[in-house]
Structure 1
Amino acid sequence: MDTQSLQAFIAVADCQSFSRAAETLHLTQPAISKRIAVLEDQLGTRLFDRIGRRITLTEAGRVLHPRAQSILLAVDDSRRALANLNGQVGGRLSLATSHHIGLHRLPPLLKRYTRRHPGVELGLEFLDSEQAYRDVLDGRLEIAVVTLAPEPHEQLDVVPIWTDRMRFVCAADHPLRHAASLTLGELCRHASVLPGPLTFTRTLLRRRLEDEGLTLEAGMSTNYLETLKMMCSVGLGWSLLPDSMIDNGLVKLDVATPPLHRPLGYLVHHDRTLSNAARRMIEELEQARDAGNRATFTEQETTP
C-alpha cells in the first residue's frame, strides 16, 4: 500500500470524481484510475461504487478513508521532523488566512517573512475562518491566521494576536443615522446586512442578542466584510464591522450594549510536527502580538 495510491484514494473520495481528483493531483485520469485499481487489488476489495457518473465509497472505502488520512499525515509528519534536523528554513508552507486579515493585518508580516526566508514556498490560501479550522484539523494546513472560534478545540493550539473592536454602522444617509441612542431591540427592527449565520462573527452577535432575549434574521448576508461594507454604505441595512474598516461612507451607531470584540490569531494542530518554515512564521506572529501589546500598554499609560 503506497502513499501515492492512498493520495489518489483520498482525492477521489473527497472530490467524488476521478476527473476532479486528477486535476487536484495534477495527474491524468487514467493515472488516477490505475492507482485506485492497484490499491483495490492489494486490499482485495472494491473501494468505490461507480453508478453512471456518480462515485460513492463502498463500506470498505468508508472504513479505509480515515485510516488513509492518518497514514498520510503520519508520513508527512515524519518527513517534516527529518527535514527539521538540518535547521534549514525552506520547502512549502501551507498557510490560510481570511480575506479581511489577509488584506488588513498580514501584508507587512508576510513581506518581512518572505524577505527573511526566500527559500520558503508560501502556499497562501484565502478561506473562511470556519473552513480554515477544518483544514488544520484535517492536516491539510500547517497554520491558519483567522478569526478565532468562540469555543476552544481540544486538538488545536489557538493563540490570539489581534483584537477587532466591532461597531454597529449604517450609511451616512440611513434613517438610523440620526438616532441619539438605540437599544439592540430597536436595531433589530431595521434591515441588516451581516456575515453568514455559521460564521464566528455572526455567532458573537447572536450570543449578545440571546443574552437580551432577542433574535435576528439578516435580510442579506455574505462572509466577505468588504462586500458587507459596500452593501451597508449604499443603504441596504445596518451592519457590524471592525472599527478599522469604518470611513466617511459609514456612521457608527450608538447602541446601548457593551463593546463587542472578536479575537484574531493563529492556530495549529498540537499533534503535528511543524516545519522550520512554520516555526519561523509563528515567530513573526508572536512578534506582531508583542508589538500590539506594547502599543496597547503605551496607549493606556498616556490616556488621562
Structure 2
Amino acid sequence: MDLANLSAFIAVAETGSFSRAGERLHLTQPAVSKRIAALESQLDVRLFDRLGREVGLTEAGRALLPRAYRIIHELDDTRRALTNLQGQISGRLTLATSHHIGLHRLPPVLRRFTHAHPAVTLDIRFLDSEVAYDEVLHGRLELAIITLAPQTLGPLRAVPIWDDPLDLVAAIDHPLARRENVRLRDVACHPAVLPGDATFTHRIVSGLFESTGLSLDVSMTTNYLETIRMMISIGLAWGVLPRTMLDDQLCALRLPGMNLSRRLGYVVHTERTLSNAARAMMRLLEEDTGGLHDPLPRR
C-alpha cells in the first residue's frame, strides 16, 4: 500500500475536501484525486462518496481510517526512534498551542529554541486547548502547549509550566465595579461573557458557581480571550480573564476567599516515541518551572 496515497486518504477524510487536502499536502486537487483513485484501485473498494462538493467516507473508508492512522503513526514512530539514535535535534516538530499562550507565554521560549536548534522546522498550529488535547490523544500531534484539563488521564501526561491566576472582571463603569463589597451572588445577577462551555476555563468558572448553588447567566461565548476583554471593557458583560490581561479599562472583582487559577503546560502521549526536537522543547519549557518536573522517560 503506497504511503503517499494513504496520507492523501487521511487528509481528505479529515478535511472533507479534496481541495483542502491538497492545500494541506501542498498538492493540486487533481494530484490528490489521482492518489485516492490509485488507493481505491489497489484496495478494490470505493472510499469516498462524492456528492457535488460534499465528500464523505463510505463504509469501507470508515473501516480503513483507524487502520490508516495506525500505519502512518507506526512509520512516524519508527523514523523518530531511528533519528533519536543519531542524537540529532533536527527535522520537523509539529506542536499546537492556544492563541493566548502563543501570544503571551511562548515567544521567549520559541526564540530560545530556534536560536539553539536552527535545524528544526517548527510547525505551530493554533488550536483551542481541548482540540489540541484530542489531537495529541489520537497521535496527530507530538506536543501541545495548552490550558491543562483539571484532570489528565493516561495515556496522556500533562506537565504544568505556568500558574495562570484568573480574575472575575468588569468594565470600570460597570455596576459591579462600583460596589464596595461584591459577593458571588451579586455577580450571578449580571450577564457574563465566557469561553465556550466545552473549554477547560469555562468548566473552572461554572464549577465555582455550581459549588455555591448559583447559576451563570452567559449572554455570549467566544474562545478568544482578546475578544472577551474587548466585550468586557465596553460594558457588555462581566467575564473571567487571566490577571496578566487586565488594563486600566478593567476592574478585577475581589471576592473574599476566592482564588481562581488555571494551569498552563504541555501534554504528550506516553506511548509515543518523542523526537529529539520535542524533548528539547520540553526541556526549555521546564526551565521556567525551575526544573521541578522530571523529564519524560526515554522510550
8 Å CA contact 1:100–1:225 kept in 2: the answer is yes
C-alpha deviations, 1:27-81, integer Å up to 9, x for none? 1222212211221122121111223332221111111111101110111111111
TM-score by length of 2: 0.93
8 Å CA contact 1:184–1:256 kept in 2: the answer is no
8 Å CA contact 1:192–1:239 kept in 2: the answer is yes
Aligned to 2:156: 156
Give the secondary structure class of the aligned counterpart of 2:180.
coil
8 Å CA contact 2:93–2:121 kept in 1: the answer is yes
C-alpha deviations, 1:230-258, integer Å up to 9, x for none? 11111111111111111211111122452
Aligned to 1:3: 3
TM-score by length of 1: 0.92
Q: How far apart are residue 291 of structure 1 and its match? A: 7.1
Aligned to 1:177: 177
- Return the alpha-carbon distance in structure 2 between the equivalents of residues 154 and 108 of structure 1: 30
Aligned to 2:12: 12
Q: How far apart are residue 173 of structure 1 and its match? A: 1.2
Aligned to 1:108: 108
Residue identity in the other structure for 1:222: T
C-alpha deviations, 1:192-229, integer Å up to 9, x for none? 22111111100101111111112213112211112211
Report the number of matched residues. 293
- Return the alpha-carbon distance in structure 1 between the equivalents of residues 16 and 97 of structure 2: 26
Aligned to 2:38: 38
Comparing 129-138 with 49-58, greater Cα deviation is found at 49-58
- Return the alpha-carbon distance in structure 2 between the equivalents of residues 291 and 170 of structure 1: 37
Give the secondary structure class of the aligned counterpart of 2:177.
helix
- Return the alpha-carbon distance in structure 2 between the equivalents of residues 292 and 106 of structure 1: 19
Aligned to 2:282: 282
8 Å CA contact 2:189–2:217 kept in 1: the answer is no
Comparing 141-150 with 13-22, greater Cα deviation is found at 13-22
8 Å CA contact 1:148–1:264 kept in 2: the answer is yes
Aligned to 1:225: 225
Aligned to 2:187: 187
- Unmatched tracts of structure 1, length 5 or more: 294-304
Aligned to 1:90: 90
8 Å CA contact 1:233–1:250 kept in 2: the answer is yes
- Return the alpha-carbon distance in structure 2 between the equivalents of residues 115 and 32 of structure 1: 36
Greater share of helix residues, 1 or 2? Answer: 1
Change in Cα spacing, 1:253 to 1:292, as seen in structure 2 (3 Å) is farther
- Return the alpha-carbon distance in structure 2 between the equivalents of residues 58 and 257 of structure 1: 56
Aligned to 1:78: 78
- Return the alpha-carbon distance in structure 2 between the equivalents of residues 287 and 24 of structure 1: 34
Aligned to 1:296: none
C-alpha deviations, 1:148-179, integer Å up to 9, x for none? 01221322111011111111111111111121
Residue identity in the other structure for 2:41: D
Q: Percent identity?
A: 56
Is 1:141–2:154 an aligned residue pair? no
Q: How far apart are residue 264 of structure 1 and its match? A: 0.5
Change in Cα spacing, 1:243 to 1:137, as seen in structure 2 (3 Å) is same
Q: How far apart are residue 147 of structure 1 and its match? A: 0.3
